[in-house]
Amino acid sequence: MGIVLEIIKIASESVPKDAPGAQIKQINLEIGKLSAIVPESLLFCFDIASKETPADGATLNIEVIPVMAECKDCGANWEITGPVFSCEKCESGSINILSGREMDIKSIEILN
């Protein structure tokens, strides 16, 4: 729920001060698979929390970012799809998570 309030706050602040009647049409989000955010519950909370804010009625677009890893030993790059966090090539457990933890607001579309 805290994340949703944060998104609404950022979106509301992006509405130009000289356009007080402006409505937020769409919010485009990127959410990493590892971020522990469930898109369905985010959408549900957004609907409730956005009432009577400039984001009321806005569409929340969620793009899920895959978990990408890099092996520190052999340099291989791959997408992690299961619970196994070891290198696909050399089976090393020494890996870097390159993406998948993020939660970014990519863009906000405002309707004047």
| Residues within the interface to Zn ion (CB under 5 A) | 71, 73-74, 76, 87, 89-90, 92
**β-strand pairing of 23-32 with 59-65:** parallel
The answer to whether 31 and 67 are in contact (CB under 8 A) is no
Instruction: Please say which residue, 35 or 99, places its beta carbon nearer to Zn ion.
Output: 99
Shortest gap between Cβ of 90 and Zn ion (angstroms)?
3
Q: What is the DSSP letter of 88?
A: T
Shortest gap between Cβ of 28 and Zn ion (angstroms)?
34
Instruction: Please say which residue, 38 or 74, places its beta carbon nearer to Zn ion.
Output: 74
**What sections of 1-112 are H helices per DSSP?**
2-13, 39-49
Shortest gap between Cβ of 88 and Zn ion (angstroms)?
7
Residues whose CB falls within 8 Å of the CB of residue 6, separated by 6 or more in sequence, listed in order: none
Instruction: Please say which residue, 1 or 90, places its beta carbon nearer to Zn ion.
Output: 90
